[in-house]
Chain A
Amino acid sequence: MLDIAPWKRRAIWIVCLLGLLFALPNFFPEEQVARWPAPLDRQLNLGLDLRGGSHILLEADIAELRRLKLESLEDQVRQELREAPGGPVSATDLGIRDGAVSFTLVNPADADRALEAMRRLARPVAGLGGPRDPEVSLLDGDRILLAPTEAGLAEAVESAMAQTVEVVRRRIDELGTREPTIVRQGRDRVLVQVPGLQDPEALKQLLGRTARLEFKLVDLEADPAMVAEGRAPPGSQVLPLAEGGQIAVRRRAIITGDQLVDAQPSFQDGQPVVSFRFDAQGGRRFARVTQENVGRPFAIILDGVVISAPRINEPILGGSGIISGQFTTESANELAILLRSGKLPVSLKVVEERTVGPDLGADSIRAGAIASIVAVALVALFMIATYGRFGVYSVVALVLNAVLLLGILTLIGATLTLPGIAGFVLTVGAAVDANVLINERIREELRRGRSVRQAIENGYSLAQGTIFDANITNVIASAIMFYFGSGPVKGFAVVLTIGIATSVFTAVTVTRVLVSGWYHRRRPAALAL
Chain B
Amino acid sequence: MRLLKLVPDTTNIPFLRVRHRAVGLSALLLLGSLLLVAVRGLNFGVDFAGGLMIEARFEGPAELERLRAAVNRLGVGQAALQSFGAPDTVLIRLPAPPGDAEAVDAAVKRVLGALRGLDPSVEIRRVETVSGKVSGELVRKGALAILFAMVGISLYIWLRFEWQFGVGALLALVHDVGLTLGFFALTRLEFNLSTVAAILTIVGYSLNDTIVIYDRIRENLRKYRRMDMVSLLDLSVNETLARTIVTSLTMILALGALVLFGGEVLFGFSVAMLIGIVIGTYSSIFIAAPLLVWMGVGPDSFVTKPAGPEGAERVPGRAPEPGKAPGRPRGSQP
Contacts of A493 in B (CB 8 A): 197
CB distance from A307 to the nearest CB of B (A): 21
Does A339 count as interface, using CB distance less than 8 angstroms?
Answer: no
Q: Is the CB of A371 within 8 A of B101?
A: no
CA–CA, A184 and B155, complex, Å: 34
Does A430 count as interface, using CB distance less than 8 angstroms?
Answer: yes
Contacts of B261 in A (CB 8 A): 367, 370-371, 374
CB distance from A314 to the nearest CB of B (A): 41
0/1 interface trace, chain B 3-35, chain A, CB 8 Å (1 if under): 111100100000000000000000000000000
User: Chain B: interface secondary structure?
Assistant: helix
User: Chain A: interface secondary structure?
Assistant: helix
Contacts of A200 in B (CB 8 A): 127
Contacts A474-B205, A477-B201 given: A351-B266 contact, CB under 8 Å?
A: no
Does A114 count as interface, using CB distance less than 8 angstroms?
Answer: no
Contacts of B5 in A (CB 8 A): 386
Which of B101, B129, B160, B263 lies in contact with A368, CB distance below 8 A? Answer: B263
In A330-384, which residues have CB < 8 Å from any B CB?
349-357, 359-360, 363-364, 367-368, 370-372, 374-375, 378-379, 382-383
Contacts of A349 in B (CB 8 A): 100-102, 131
Return the chain A residue nearest B208 by Cβ. A470
Contacts A473-B156, A476-B153, A486-B193 given: A466-B128 contact, CB under 8 Å?
A: no
Return the chain B residue nearest A59 by Cβ. B101
Q: Is the CB of B200 within 8 A of A425?
A: no
In B159-184, which residues have CB < 8 Å from any A CB?
160
Return the chain A residue nearest B112 by Cβ. A201
0/1 interface trace, chain B 109-145, chain A, CB 8 Å (1 if under): 1001000000000011111111101100010011011
Contacts of B149 in A (CB 8 A): 476-477, 480-481
Q: Is the CB of A353 within 8 A of B194?
A: no
Does B231 count as interface, using CB distance less than 8 angstroms?
Answer: no
CA–CA, A426 and B215, complex, Å: 23
Q: Is the CB of A368 within 8 A of B262?
A: yes
CA–CA, A381 and B253, complex, Å: 11
CA–CA, A194 and B191, complex, Å: 26
Q: Is the CB of B123 within 8 A of A357?
A: yes
Interface centre among B55, B148, B197, B252 (most CB of A within 10 A): B197
Which of B156, B157, B253 lies in contact with A429, CB distance below 8 A? Answer: B253
CA–CA, A238 and B200, complex, Å: 56
Q: Is the CB of A350 within 8 A of B105?
A: yes
Contacts of A422 in B (CB 8 A): 258, 262, 266, 269-270, 273
Interface centre among A371, A385, A473 (most CB of B within 10 A): A473
Which of A353, A355, A419, A485 lies in contact with B269, CB distance below 8 A? Answer: A419
Q: Interface extent on B, as a size class? A: 35 or more
CB distance from B199 to the nearest CB of A (A): 9
Return the chain A residue nearest B132 by Cβ. A351
CA–CA, A369 and B55, complex, Å: 22
Does B185 count as interface, using CB distance less than 8 angstroms?
Answer: no
Contacts of B256 in A (CB 8 A): 378
In A121-180, which residues have CB < 8 Å from any B CB?
none
CB distance from B310 to the nearest CB of A (A): 26
CA–CA, A354 and B192, complex, Å: 14
In B41-74, which residues have CB < 8 Å from any A CB?
55, 57
CA–CA, A299 and B274, complex, Å: 65
Does B255 count as interface, using CB distance less than 8 angstroms?
Answer: yes
Does A484 count as interface, using CB distance less than 8 angstroms?
Answer: yes
CA–CA, A476 and B145, complex, Å: 11
Contacts of B125 in A (CB 8 A): 356-357, 359-360
Does A428 count as interface, using CB distance less than 8 angstroms?
Answer: yes
CB distance from A347 to the nearest CB of B (A): 10
Does B222 count as interface, using CB distance less than 8 angstroms?
Answer: no
Contacts A360-B55, A422-B262, A444-B239 given: A375-B142 contact, CB under 8 Å?
A: no
Contacts of B293 in A (CB 8 A): none
Does B38 count as interface, using CB distance less than 8 angstroms?
Answer: no
Contacts of B243 in A (CB 8 A): 436-437, 440
Contacts of B87 in A (CB 8 A): none
Does B303 count as interface, using CB distance less than 8 angstroms?
Answer: no
Does B237 count as interface, using CB distance less than 8 angstroms?
Answer: no
Q: Is the CB of B197 within 8 A of A425?
A: no
Interface centre among B100, B194, B257 (most CB of A within 10 A): B257
0/1 interface trace, chain B 92-104, chain A, CB 8 Å (1 if under): 0000000011101
Contacts of A476 in B (CB 8 A): 149, 152-153, 156, 204
Q: Is the CB of B265 within 8 A of A364?
A: yes
CB distance from B203 to the nearest CB of A (A): 5
Q: Is the CB of B257 within 8 A of A374?
A: yes
Which of A354, A477, A484 lies in contact with B144, CB distance below 8 A? Answer: A484
Contacts of B203 in A (CB 8 A): 477
Q: Is the CB of B250 within 8 A of A388?
A: no
Does B36 count as interface, using CB distance less than 8 angstroms?
Answer: no
Contacts A357-B123, A469-B160, A481-B197 given: A426-B255 contact, CB under 8 Å?
A: yes
CA–CA, A367 and B263, complex, Å: 5
CA–CA, A169 and B200, complex, Å: 35
Contacts of B186 in A (CB 8 A): none
Does A458 count as interface, using CB distance less than 8 angstroms?
Answer: no
Does B297 count as interface, using CB distance less than 8 angstroms?
Answer: no
CA–CA, A436 and B248, complex, Å: 10
Contacts A352-B129, A426-B273, A440-B243 given: A472-B250 contact, CB under 8 Å?
A: no
Contacts A368-B263, A387-B3, A477-B201 given: A353-B212 contact, CB under 8 Å?
A: no
Q: Is the CB of B134 within 8 A of A352?
A: yes
In A56-98, which residues have CB < 8 Å from any B CB?
57, 59
CB distance from A385 to the nearest CB of B (A): 4
Does A304 count as interface, using CB distance less than 8 angstroms?
Answer: no
CA–CA, A447 and B11, complex, Å: 13
Contacts of B194 in A (CB 8 A): 419, 488-489
Q: Is the CB of A378 within 8 A of B145?
A: no
Q: Is the CB of B3 within 8 A of A351?
A: no
Q: Is the CB of B204 within 8 A of A425?
A: no
Q: Is the CB of A360 within 8 A of B246?
A: no
Does B81 count as interface, using CB distance less than 8 angstroms?
Answer: no
Q: Is the CB of B142 within 8 A of A480?
A: no
Which of B101, B126, B141, B242 lies in contact with A350, CB distance below 8 A? Answer: B101
Does A34 count as interface, using CB distance less than 8 angstroms?
Answer: no
Q: Is the CB of B211 within 8 A of A470?
A: yes
Interface centre among B194, B207, B262 (most CB of A within 10 A): B262
A-B contact pairs, 6 of them (CB 8 A): A208-B105, A350-B104, A368-B262, A425-B258, A426-B258, A486-B193
Q: Other than A356-B126, A386-B6, A430-B254, give 6 A-B pairs with Cβ distance below 8 A.
A: A359-B123, A364-B263, A375-B258, A386-B4, A436-B243, A473-B211
In order of increasing CB-CB distance, the 5 nearest A-B pairs are: A429-B254, A367-B263, A477-B204, A484-B145, A474-B204
Interface residues of A (CB under 8 A from B): 49, 57, 59, 200-201, 204, 208, 349-357, 359-360, 363-364, 367-368, 370-372, 374-375, 378-379, 382-383, 385-388, 418-419, 421-423, 425-426, 428-430, 432-433, 436-437, 440, 443-444, 447, 465-466, 469-470, 472-478, 480-481, 483-486, 488-489, 492-493, 496, 528-529
